[in-house]
Amino acid sequence: MVSLVRRYYFYRASLSSGFYIPVSVIYMESRGLGLPEIGLVQGTFLFSMVVWELPTGYLGDRLGRRAALALGSAVTVAVMAGFALAESTLGFATVYGLWAVAWTFKTGAADAWLYELLATRGEEEEFSRISGRADSVLRLLSGGAALSVGLLYTVDSSLPFLANAALAGIGLPVLFTLPRTNGAGSGDDAAVKDAAVEDAAVDDADPSPIGVREVARVLRRELSRPSIRWVVAYAALFNLAFSVTRVFEQPAMRSVGVPVAGLGLLYAGFKLVSAIVSSLTGAVHDRLGTRGVLFLLVPAVGVAYGAFAVVPALLVPALFLRRGLQRITRPVRTEYVNDRVEDVGRATVLSGVSMALTLASGTANVLGGRVAEAVGPLRFLSATGVAVSLAAGILWIAVRPVRSAAGDPAPS
């Protein structure tokens, strides 16, 4: 089992995007794309994720976890090689569309495979420990990769993408040393017991499958609740701000004098801060409560984004803060929604919320690129953050988006 877990860690490490993320946007700029085109291709990625989420999930169930992961890694290799070859808006949009396919194939499948394997051995209680360590390995490798990006990009701007392609490719043979689990389509495997799927599904899926009409009915019913509808609207505002920040932060950092080598160092720092803040989420939630944590977004984003409009160098601390806020608020928001929906339809509602936030982010990226080009990325990000904070503050006062479950019964 020890050897198997180490191979799983190694495979999870191969999923890192640490080589390409720190230079992905400035690389597209070097290929002649302006900020409107960059916003368009980034929006293409998010819209494609929404389109492919269900089809790839279905194929993953039919083919089995390991086959789905293999497809995701194979497409990732092709995508990273495609980055090195793309030279037009259409080329990058195509690459990002394929990247969304790879992403959705891998989303959740690695954790599902691990849980199912542990369930066959009666070791489900080990899931959190092993998964957490795997995530730490992934973050450490991503941070190390980010440190090397400046050198690689200086030698040849396509090298970070080729390095990421090689990393994803290394993960493929490791993946096939891992045993199959007994998800649909996984075939006969002597080490797997029939009861494992039921056990594995408890935390990640609805108790019973539902059809398309039932999905629509569940979403309509649950999203009509004020405590869910308004918290989704509140979260969508900040998701919009955080998404355009992620897309246009590299040009903004370059505009305040951060060199390419510095981008790699900063992204390594981002990974470190995210890991530290993630470990503190529970303590912050216990201290401030759900209302306190989610309301924290209003003053924190407003002040941080407004500050770098006055002092441009404060952009960098704001980017660290942005990552910390996301790490803390996302699980708190998810828990809040979980507490207010019924067991039947829970996964459906969570997927619906995720898709709504993704669509909002994609739309903001597409529309924001032209504005960022006109006023500059730094002013655009600052104005967006301040505007979002003001709108969210008004929403908080007007409709009380965070409510107690007892005060918001499900509609009949």
| pLDDT tens-digit readout, 329-351 | 988 888 888 788 765 566 667 77
Q: Highest-confidence range of 30-34, 199-203, 212-216, by mean pLDDT?
A: 30-34
Q: Let me know: does 377 contact 319? Beta carbons within 8 Å.
A: no
Least confident interval from 85-99, 199-213, 268-282: 199-213
Q: d(Cα 207, Cα 8) in Å, to the nearest integer? A: 28
Which has more pLDDT, 122 or 57? 122
Q: Let me know: does 39 contact 370? Beta carbons within 8 Å.
A: yes
Q: Is the pLDDT of residue 74 over 70?
A: yes
What DSSP line would sit under 43-107, residue for residue? HHHHHHHHHHHHHHHHHHHHH-HHHHHHHHHHHHHHHHHHHHH--SHHHHHHHHHHHHHHHHHHT
Q: Is the pLDDT of residue 127 over 60?
A: yes
Residues 6+ apart with CB under 8 A from 308: 314, 315, 318, 378, 381, 382
What DSSP line would sit under 331-343, residue for residue? HHHHHHHHTTS-S
Q: Is the pLDDT of residue 267 over 70?
A: yes
pLDDT at 93: 95
pLDDT at 188: 34
Q: Let me know: does 377 contact 251? Beta carbons within 8 Å.
A: yes
How would residue 212 be classed by pLDDT, with cut points 50, 70 and 90? low
Q: Is the pLDDT of residue 299 over 70?
A: yes
pTM above 0.85, yes or no: no
Residue-range domains of the chain with CATH: 1-205 (1.20.1250.20), 206-405 (1.20.1250.20)
pLDDT at 343: 55
Which has more pLDDT, 14 or 224? 14
Q: d(Cα 8, Cα 123) in Å, to the nearest integer? A: 16
pLDDT at 203: 36
* Mean pLDDT on 245-249: 95
Q: Chain centroid to CA 240: how far?
A: 14
Which has more pLDDT, 23 or 67? 23
* Mean pLDDT on 180-206: 40
* Mean pLDDT on 68-83: 92
What DSSP line would sit under 293-320, residue for residue? HHHTHHHHHHHHHHHHHHSGGGHHHHHH
pLDDT at 182: 60
What percentage of the chain exceeds 70 in pLDDT? 85
Owner of token pair 């899926």: 205
Instruction: Name the average pLDDT for the chain.
Output: 84
Q: pLDDT tens digit string along 177-186?
A: 888 876 544 4
How would residue 1 be classed by pLDDT, with cut points 50, 70 and 90? low
pLDDT at 410: 47
* Mean pLDDT on 83-91: 93
Q: d(Cα 139, Cα 269) in Å, to the nearest integer? A: 11
> How distant, in Å, are the alpha carbons of 11, 45, 233, 235, 344 from that of 341?
35, 29, 17, 17, 8
